[in-house]
């Protein structure tokens, strides 16, 4: 079932949809997830995990909702000016960047949905396979392309996966002209695929793929 919360700020009413699980979950055994990024991929993934109702999610992102985000990210006009992390009322919100290893500790799974390679380099530095200091998932989307990469991947691919310029990039790709007819939806696709990966991983972490690359 759903609950609707409403808040009025500066004369504008914000409506947040809060998903409530149909069954009671012991909060002490909820799976702890840290999610870096609440933009194109992260805003949809947050809602998907919230709807399932068995995940204790903490989101880090220092961005605020801008008008340009409304076309393809999971926000409405009522969220303009809010920190993105504050929109997801069931999650613990941290409007900050993730910069040091200590910020990654204490979670069952760390998910990188960031729009830059700096955050990914920090996540990848935690290692691979059974030797990884923590379990992580890297989600990417740019234009018609999307990828899911997990800690199970061959570490020899790390240099290739982390190659590229510093700075941020949009999940819409550099060629998008801002018009609705040109919107790419791969960020939603990879958020859904990641949700399925996470569900399977919790049930049998040896029976999940190490990576997935898509172009539609």
pLDDT at 26: 60
* Ramachandran category for residue 166: left, alpha or beta (phi over 0 → left; psi -120 to 50 → alpha): beta
More confident residue, 76 or 177: 76
E strands in 10-135: 12-19, 31-36, 55-60, 92-94, 109-112
Q: Could you give the domains of the chain?
A: 23-215 (3.40.50.720)
pLDDT of residue 164: 81
The DSSP bridge partners found for residue 148 are 139, 212
* 150 close to 209: Cβ distance less than 8 angstroms: yes
> Nearest-CA neighbor of 96 among 134, 58, 68?
58
Residue 151, helix vs strand vs coil:
coil
pLDDT of 12 over the 60 cut: no
Each residue of 63-83: pLDDT tens digit?
999 999 999 999 999 999 999
Arithmetic mean of pLDDT, 1-20: 46
pTM: predicted TM-score of the whole model, two decimal places: 0.86
The residue-averaged pLDDT of 192-214 equals 93
């Amino acid at each position: 079932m759903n609950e609707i919360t409403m808040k009025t700020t500066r004369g504008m009413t914000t409506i947040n949809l809060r998903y409530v699980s149909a069954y009671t979950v012991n909060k002490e055994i909820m799976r702890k997830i840290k999610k870096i990024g609440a933009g194109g991929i992260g805003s949809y993934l947050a809602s998907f995990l919230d709807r399932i109702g068995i995940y204790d999610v903490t989101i880090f992102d220092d961005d605020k909702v801008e008008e340009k985000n409304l076309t393809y990210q999971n926000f409405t006009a009522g969220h303009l000016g809010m920190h993105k992390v504050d929109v997801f009322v069931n999650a613990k919100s941290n409007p900050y960047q993730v910069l040091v290893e200590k910020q990654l500790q204490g979670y069952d799974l760390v998910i990188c949905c960031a729009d830059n390679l700096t955050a990914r380099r920090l996540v990848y530095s935690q290692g691979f396979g059974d030797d990884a200091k923590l379990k992580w998932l890297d989600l990417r989307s740019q234009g018609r392309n999307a990828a899911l990469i997990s800690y199970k991947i061959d570490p020899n691919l790390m240099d290739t996966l982390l190659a590229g310029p510093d700075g941020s990039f949009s999940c819409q790709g550099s060629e998008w002209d801002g018009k609705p007819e040109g919107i790419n939806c791969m960020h939603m696709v990879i958020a859904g695929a990641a949700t399925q990966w996470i569900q399977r991983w919790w049930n049998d972490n040896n029976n999940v793929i190490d990576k997935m690359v898509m172009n539609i």
